[in-house]
């Protein structure tokens, strides 16, 4: 289909106008960017930037020209020429594809087109052109100023003397020679850095080479000490012993300062004390067994640099009360390496103690303790193990048999009620000839109920299921009411009925005294607690060790047999099981106590010269013991707040505070280094943030205070006013 020549001329004119607008707006920006990049970075980068800008301009012009199509022309004709009757799109369509009515309208538009004198070119965007030229002028001004400052700097550099052209000194080469103490057996090493970690007491030697030799070079440490470096040709060297972790800076005198004059850190690795682990014996208290002649001991010790010697300290405590005598001796042990590569860093010690040669007798205690020392100089680090006791059991004396040492009970008191069950069973056996079958069976069954309750209490510590006392009592009552159970004499026995009634009344009182806590619908924990079937107790997982749990399980098994025979009315057969259960319980009690070695009575020696003299020298009075609150921590609070604003922080006060509390801070050197970086570069926002983060844990926790009452809102004020208005009326009505 052929387009009218006039329409084609209008399309070309509009496309040219759009391209001209893009070029007019882009030309000042391209020229200004090229000139600025040439001033800043040279001609090569300027050419690349100009080419990139031209490419972007060409793409923008092509996209703008591409938008001039028949659809755009039809819309412009409809908008600018009313003669087109909003049907200008028919001028660009093939007549064969149109209907009769559309062809008639198309012919009418062709006739009117000759009379239309329209300018379809877009208007000039003078505001956008002015903005583009304004930005270009600003960029050219920046380029001009940049050129001026650069020329001024260059001329100043050329006019200055050659010795002053370079404003900073650079470290050409640096080396630290670290010689650890001889006892550590650590080989000497060299590091090409000014920061390192070394064992405490190491000898460190600095060797520095500078590109501009100064008159003097000094290492200034954070504690105020200084180390003057000695020149040796082009190398400056110095030596110092690393007694503790420190910060230092290289300071030059008579020359340009270092380009990197920050603080450097040296960390001293402290020698740790040896670690001791006791293998045998496994318990703090060991009871001497029959015919035992020796006591086997085994230890393991480890140290970071090596173990020097180990002493086994043996103490024999004889007597009781205040009449305790001690015999002490020390045995040097020789250890065997745990690993061929570890050497003396990890050793195992074994020793067999001859009890006959030691002279142990009934009621005596043998207390052993291992002391291990390392090679630290000038004073060795020593670690002592816990005390382990070998006790000759004394004669049984009630509940305190064999408990002459200091004892702390860690188990509930009802673990000792098994003895009462044995006493009741023995009394029942003794009274059996005087009792008829019904009373004897009732008493045996009552003891069986007590045994069951005690067994269930023990079972709670092993995670077993528990039953309520009501179930026990109902079961007991039902069993007593069943006809033909172990004899008909129990059917109407008044003693059994009285016991059942007493148990039921006690259980009802317990339920009345326990308030019911209403549960909330939808809470999983409350639902499980009310309706669930708990099979385990969380505390039972960690309360007892595995060996004690095994002993307690044996006691429960004996209680089962005891209860079985008691319920069947056979107290004679139940008594052996009860006694064995008591023995197991005593073993559990022994394993859950904390034993301390017996010590003698050591009173302070009085000063006879001051006795009854009335002299009060050295006696502190009780008046005026309250001290005022310290405001020493306010320095850190003020510094932390000033770092968030624009005020100048008090760096000197902060450094003095850190130096004063250096021993109490977890990383005082890190805080000092961060403060130094922020102080030297006030414009560094990251440095200030780092200081704030380090100071946050050091700030004093504010004292607790009551929160002020919030002011009421509009609705609250209306409510309060209504209360004040109604108050007089209520008072009058009450009168």
Q: CATH no. for residue 202?
A: 2.60.40
- Mean pLDDT for the stretch of residues 294-310: 91
Task: For residue 621, tell me if it sits in a domain.
Answer: no
pLDDT band of residue 170 (cuts 50, 70, 90) is confident
| Boundaries of domain holding 692 | 634-698
Lowest mean pLDDT among 335-339, 429-433, 618-622: 618-622
Residue predicted with more confidence, 53 or 490: 53
The yes-or-no verdict on residue 5 having pLDDT over 90 is: no
Q: How many other β-carbons are positioned within 10 Å of the β-carbon of residue 534? A: 11
Residue 617 to residue 550: CA distance in whole angstroms: 61
Do 460 and 499 fall into the same domain?
yes
At residue 497, the pLDDT reads 41
At residue 300, the pLDDT reads 92
Which percentage of the chain shows pLDDT scores above 90? 17
At residue 610, the pLDDT reads 77
Do 185 and 332 fall into the same domain?
no
pLDDT band of residue 538 (cuts 50, 70, 90) is very low
Tokens of 734: 């009450």
Tokens of 652: 């000197």
pLDDT tens for 660-691 read: 888 888 888 888 888 888 888 877 888 888 88
Residue 23 to residue 64: CA distance in whole angstroms: 11
Residue 209 to residue 174: CA distance in whole angstroms: 6
Residue predicted with more confidence, 581 or 593: 581
- Mean pLDDT for the stretch of residues 215-243: 89
Do 543 and 686 fall into the same domain?
no
Residue predicted with more confidence, 314 or 166: 314
Do 29 and 61 fall into the same domain?
yes
Do 18 and 137 fall into the same domain?
yes
Do 265 and 281 fall into the same domain?
no
At residue 598, the pLDDT reads 66
Do 102 and 36 fall into the same domain?
yes
At residue 486, the pLDDT reads 35
Do 661 and 574 fall into the same domain?
no
The yes-or-no verdict on residue 408 having pLDDT over 50 is: no
Entry pTM:
0.49
At residue 177, the pLDDT reads 93
At residue 86, the pLDDT reads 64
At residue 43, the pLDDT reads 72
- Mean pLDDT for the stretch of residues 425-442: 89
The yes-or-no verdict on residue 438 having pLDDT over 60 is: yes
Lowest mean pLDDT among 384-393, 528-537, 562-571, 682-691: 528-537
Lowest mean pLDDT among 191-195, 343-347, 703-707: 703-707
At residue 159, the pLDDT reads 43
Neighbouring C-alpha atoms within 13 Å toward the C-beta of 643: 26
Lowest mean pLDDT among 184-193, 272-281, 504-513, 698-707: 504-513
Lowest mean pLDDT among 205-219, 458-472, 525-539, 693-707: 525-539
- Report yes or no: 297 and 353 within 8 Å, Cβ to Cβ: yes
Do 142 and 249 fall into the same domain?
no
At residue 296, the pLDDT reads 92
Range among 359-363, 419-423, 591-595 with highest mean pLDDT value: 419-423
The yes-or-no verdict on residue 653 having pLDDT over 60 is: yes
Task: For residue 611, tell me if it sits in a domain.
Answer: no
In this structure, the strands spanning 275-280 and 294-302 are antiparallel
The yes-or-no verdict on residue 595 having pLDDT over 70 is: no
Q: Is 382 helix (H, G, I), strand (E, B) or coil?
A: strand
Task: For residue 625, tell me if it sits in a domain.
Answer: no
Do 25 and 40 fall into the same domain?
yes
Q: Which of 395, 422, 445 is the last residue of a domain?
A: 395
pLDDT tens for 376-385 read: 888 899 999 9
Q: Is 275 helix (H, G, I), strand (E, B) or coil?
A: strand
DSSP structure string for 320-377: ETTEEEEEEEEEEE--EESSTTTGGGEEEEEEEEEHHHHT--TT-EEEEEEEEEE--S
Q: Give the total number of structural domains in the chain.
A: 5
Task: For residue 240, tell me if it sits in a domain.
Answer: yes
Mean pLDDT, all residues of the chain: 75
Which percentage of the chain shows pLDDT scores above 70? 69
At residue 248, the pLDDT reads 92
Q: How many other β-carbons are positioned within 10 Å of the β-carbon of residue 170? A: 13
Q: Which of 221, 241, 269 is the last residue of a domain?
A: 269
Q: Which CATH number characterizes residue 313's domain?
A: 2.60.40.10
* β-sheet with 294-302: strand ranges across: 275-280, 294-302, 346-354, 336-337
The yes-or-no verdict on residue 500 having pLDDT over 60 is: no
pLDDT band of residue 109 (cuts 50, 70, 90) is low
The yes-or-no verdict on residue 313 having pLDDT over 70 is: yes
Residue predicted with more confidence, 109 or 24: 24
Do 203 and 96 fall into the same domain?
no
Residue 701 to residue 693: CA distance in whole angstroms: 16
The yes-or-no verdict on residue 321 having pLDDT over 90 is: no
For 4-92, where are the E strands, in sequence order?
none
At residue 79, the pLDDT reads 67
At residue 502, the pLDDT reads 43
Do 461 and 389 fall into the same domain?
no
pLDDT band of residue 586 (cuts 50, 70, 90) is confident
At residue 683, the pLDDT reads 79
Residue 358 to residue 372: CA distance in whole angstroms: 23
Q: Which of 216, 238, 269 is the last residue of a domain?
A: 269
- Mean pLDDT for the stretch of residues 71-85: 68
Task: For residue 728, tell me if it sits in a domain.
Answer: no
At residue 205, the pLDDT reads 93
Task: For residue 531, tell me if it sits in a domain.
Answer: no
Q: Is the dihedral of CA 435, 439, 442, 443 positive or negative?
A: negative
At residue 32, the pLDDT reads 79
Task: For residue 334, tell me if it sits in a domain.
Answer: yes
pLDDT band of residue 594 (cuts 50, 70, 90) is low
The yes-or-no verdict on residue 400 having pLDDT over 50 is: no
- Mean pLDDT for the stretch of residues 335-362: 86
At residue 422, the pLDDT reads 92
Task: For residue 223, tell me if it sits in a domain.
Answer: yes
Q: Measuring CA to CA, how many Å separate 288 from each of 285, 370, 390, 579, 661?
A: 10, 20, 6, 22, 53
């Amino acid at each position: 289909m052929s387009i009218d020549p006039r329409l084609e001329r209008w399309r070309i004119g509009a496309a040219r106008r759009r391209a001209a607008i893009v070029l007019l707006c882009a030309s000042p920006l391209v020229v200004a960017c090229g000139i600025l990049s040439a001033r800043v970075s040279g001609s090569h980068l300027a050419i690349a930037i100009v080419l990139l800008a031209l490419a972007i301009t060409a793409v923008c012009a092509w996209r703008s020209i591409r938008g001039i199509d028949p659809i755009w022309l039809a819309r412009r004709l409809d908008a600018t020429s009313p003669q087109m009757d909003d049907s200008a799109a028919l001028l660009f369509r093939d007549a064969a594809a149109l209907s009769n009515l559309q062809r008639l309208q198309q012919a009418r538009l062709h006739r009117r087109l000759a009379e239309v004198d329209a300018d379809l070119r877009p208007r000039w965007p003078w505001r956008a052109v002015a903005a583009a030229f304004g930005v270009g002028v600003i960029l050219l001004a920046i380029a001009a100023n940049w050129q001026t400052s650069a020329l001024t700097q260059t001329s100043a550099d050329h006019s200055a003397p050659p010795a002053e052209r370079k404003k900073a000194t650079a470290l050409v080469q640096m080396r630290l020679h670290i010689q650890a103490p001889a006892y550590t057996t650590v080989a000497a090493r060299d590091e090409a850095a000014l920061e390192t970690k070394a064992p405490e007491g190491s000898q460190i030697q600095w060797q520095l080479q500078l590109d501009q030799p100064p008159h003097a070079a000094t290492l200034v440490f954070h504690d105020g000490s200084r180390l003057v470096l000695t020149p040796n040709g082009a190398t400056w060297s110095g030596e110092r012993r690393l007694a503790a972790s420190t910060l230092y800076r290289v300071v030059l005198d008579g020359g340009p300062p270092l380009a990197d004059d920050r603080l450097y850190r040296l960390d001293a690795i402290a020698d740790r004390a040896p670690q001791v682990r006791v293998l045998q014996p496994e318990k703090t208290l060991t009871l001497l067994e029959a015919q035992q002649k020796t006591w086997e001991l085994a230890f393991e010790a480890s140290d970071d640099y090596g173990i020097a010697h180990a002493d086994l300290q043996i103490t024999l405590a004889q007597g009781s009360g205040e009449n305790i005598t001690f015999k002490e001796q020390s045995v040097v042990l020789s250890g065997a390496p745990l690993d061929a590569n570890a050497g003396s860093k990890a050793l195992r010690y074994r020793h067999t103690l001859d009890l006959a040669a030691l002279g142990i007798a009934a009621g005596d205690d043998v207390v052993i303790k291992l002391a291990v020392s390392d090679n630290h100089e000038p004073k060795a680090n020593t670690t002592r193990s816990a005390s382990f006791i070998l006790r000759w059991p004394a004669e049984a004396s009630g509940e305190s048999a064999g408990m002459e040492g200091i004892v702390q009970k860690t188990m509930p008191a009802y673990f000792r009620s098994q003895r009462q069950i044995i006493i009741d069973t023995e009394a029942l056996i003794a009274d059996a000839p005087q009792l008829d079958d019904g009373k004897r069976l009732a008493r045996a069954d009552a003891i069986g109920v007590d045994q069951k309750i005690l067994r269930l209490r023990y079972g709670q510590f092993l995670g077993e299921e528990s039953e309520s006392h009501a179930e026990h009592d109902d079961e007991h009552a039902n069993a007593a009411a069943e006809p033909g159970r172990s004899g008909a004499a129990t059917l109407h026995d008044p003693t059994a009925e009285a016991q059942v009634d007493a148990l039921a009344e006690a259980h009802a009182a317990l339920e009345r005294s326990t308030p019911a806590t209403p549960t909330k619908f939808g809470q999983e924990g409350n639902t499980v607690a009310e309706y669930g079937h708990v099979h385990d107790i969380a505390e039972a997982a960690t309360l007892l060790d595995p060996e004690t749990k095994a002993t307690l399980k044996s006691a429960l098994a004996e209680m089962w047999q005891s209860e079985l025979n008691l319920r069947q009315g056979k107290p004679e057969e139940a008594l052996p099981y009860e006694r064995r259960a008591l023995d197991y319980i005593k073993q559990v009690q022994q394993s859950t106590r904390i034993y301390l070695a017996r010590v003698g009575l050591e009173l302070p020696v009085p000063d006879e010269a001051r006795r009854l003299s009335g002299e009060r020298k050295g006696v502190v009075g009780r008046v005026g013991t309250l001290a005022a609150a310290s405001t020493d921590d306010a320095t850190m609070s003020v510094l932390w707040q000033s770092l968030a604003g624009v005020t100048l922080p008090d760096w000197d006060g902060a450094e003095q505070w850190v130096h004063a509390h250096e021993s109490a801070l977890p990383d005082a050197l890190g805080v000092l280094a961060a403060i130094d970086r922020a102080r030297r570069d006030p414009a560094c926002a990251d440095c200030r943030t780092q200081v704030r983060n380090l100071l946050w844990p050091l700030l004093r926790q504010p004292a607790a205070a009551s929160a002020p009452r919030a002011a009421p809102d509009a609705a609250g004020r209306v409510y309060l006013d209504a209360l004040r208005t109604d108050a007089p009326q209520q008072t009058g009505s009450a009168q």
